[in-house]
Structure 1
Amino acid sequence: MQRVVYMQDRDDGQRMKDVIYVHPPSYKGEEFPNPAGLPRPVVGGLPFPWVTPMADGKPLFREIERVKAELCRRLWGCQVCGNDLDSTAWVALKEPAEGSAVVSSAAIHPACLRLAVQYCPVLGDPAMGYAFTEVYEDDIVAVTDESPHRNGRAPAARWHLRPAAETSRPERVRTFHSLSDVRG
């Protein structure tokens, strides 16, 4: 069982600490120790992200544990290491534009982003043309997909980058970075 602590706004404007306990799901009866934190466990020579499920003794790198990904989004946690994010974090975007769809499952620490682009064949593929930007928690918003052609297995809402003018910091200028910038 993993302990997750987060801050919750109260009606009187105060913030209070709340704690929830998460039972990491087991796949096909397997228990795989995948605690939050760095360094990540290594499976088959690859770092094992916190949101990645395991089945038949192998990581399912193409899949995401939706419960953990949702916890990361709602509680401002890193999808790679599972730890709390700082006031800012990074996301991968389909294109370098305000309102662009966020392709990462949740935000990521800078160090975890470098790890992700090094080992993830999708994020690390220059042909994908992803852009990366630093965000605050209120920069990301869920946009409901009401298309009649939506895949029923896909999430009903997709995460998008909220235009800076609609955030709590409307005066800032957002900078978009390429894969080569992030790899540094």
Structure 2
Amino acid sequence: MQRVVYLRDRPDGQRMKDVVYVHPPRYKGEEFQNPAGLPRPVVGGLPFPWVTPMGDGQPHFREIERVKADLCRRLWGCQVCGNDLGTVAWVALQEPRDGWAVVSSAAIHAQCLRIAVDYCPVLGDPSMGYAFTEAYEDDIVAHADESPDRNPQAPQARWYLRPVAETSRPERVRRFHTLGEVKAAARGSASEETNAH
């Protein structure tokens, strides 16, 4: 059994530890421990995200481990590294505007977003035209998908970016970033780290 610890805010404003015990999922008779944290393990030259399942000794990069993805959504954790998210995190959107659907229904650290756009064929595809923005936890709202034709493998709820006017920070200015801007920021961070050494 795997112990996953998150810090979360209680309704009274206090912080508390939320400890969740997760049985490692079985994939075709194999158990695989993919612990949270950075740096991510590298398999076949690709970083192995925390929510990616393993089967037949290989990561299933096009699949999502639903138990872990649900923990990330419920407990404000990063889907790439599995660690707690801070006050703000990043989300990818289908359109650069308030109220629009979040692409992956999970948030990501800034550093993990740079990993994702470099290696994920969906998030890093310029033709998809995704926008990226910082988000507080209360910037995100879940709408249940109760349609009869919903894919049973998909999450039961879809995340949307709540309009700023409906959040606890109506004075906040929300900025939307292109894929090119996110990648340029990643290159800037990498060169800053290189110059620091």
Cα displacement string for residues 87-111 of structure 1 (whole angstroms, at most 9, x for unaligned residues): 0000001110111110124100001
Counterpart of 1:31? 31
SS of match in other structure, 1:113:
helix
C-alpha change, 1:121 and 1:150, in structure 2 (3 Å) is same
Question: Kindly tell me: are residues 150 and 31 of structure 1, through their superposed partners in 2, closer, same or farther at Cα, counting changes over 3 Å?
Answer: closer
Aligned pair in 2 of structure 1 residues 3, 157: CA closer, same or farther (>3 Å)?
closer
Quick one: distance in 1 between partners of 2:160 and 2:47? 27
Find the aligned partners of 2:156 and 2:4 in 1 and give their Cα distance.
28
Q: Which amino acid aligns with 1:29?
A: G
Query: For residues 97 and 118 of structure 1, do their structure 2 counterparts lie closer, same or farther at Cα, with a shift above 3 Å needed?
Result: same
* 1:16–1:81 distance in 2 versus 1, CA, 3 Å: closer
CA-based RMSD: 1.6
**CA separation of 1:25 and 1:153: change in aligned 2, threshold 3 A:** closer
Deviation sequence 1:20-47 (CA, Å, 0-9, x none): 2222313112122311001101111100
**TM-score, reference length from structure 1:** 0.92
Unaligned runs of 5+ in 2: 185-197
* Paired residues, number: 183
Give the direction of change, closer, same or farther, for the CA distance of 1:174–1:13 in structure 2 (3 Å limit). Answer: closer
Change over 3 Å in CA distance of 1:55–1:165 after alignment to 2: same
The farther-off stretch of 103-112 and 45-54 is 103-112
For 1:137 and 1:118, locate their aligned partners in 2 and report how far apart those are by CA, in whole Å: 25
Superposition pairs of residues 85-100 of structure 1, within 5 angstroms: 85-100=85-100
Q: CA deviation at 1:138?
A: 0.7
Deviation track 1:71-94 (CA, whole Å, cap 9, x = no partner) reads: 011111100000011100000011
What is the deviation of 1:4? 1.5
Over residues 52-73 of structure 1, what are the superposed CA-to-partner deviations in whole Å (9 max), with x where a residue is unaligned?
A: 0011111111111111011011
- 1:58 and 1:172 map into 2 onto residues whose CA distance is 43
Equivalent residue runs for 1:71-150 within 5 Å? 71-150=71-150
Q: Distance in 2 between matches of 1:112 and 1:87?
A: 15
Match of 1:64 in 2: 64
- Contact between 1:40 and 1:48, CA under 8 Å: does it hold in 2? yes
How far did 1:129 drift? 0.5
**CA distance, structure 2, for counterparts of residue 13 and residue 40 of structure 1:** 32
For 1:179 and 1:14, the matched residues in 2 are separated by: 36
Q: Which amino acid aligns with 1:84?
A: D
Which structure: greater helix fraction? 2
| CA shift in 2, pair 1:175/1:153, >3 Å | same
Q: Compute the TM-score of the two structures, normalised by the length of structure 2.
A: 0.86
Task: Determine if contact 1:79/1:108 at 8 Å carries over to the other structure.
Answer: yes
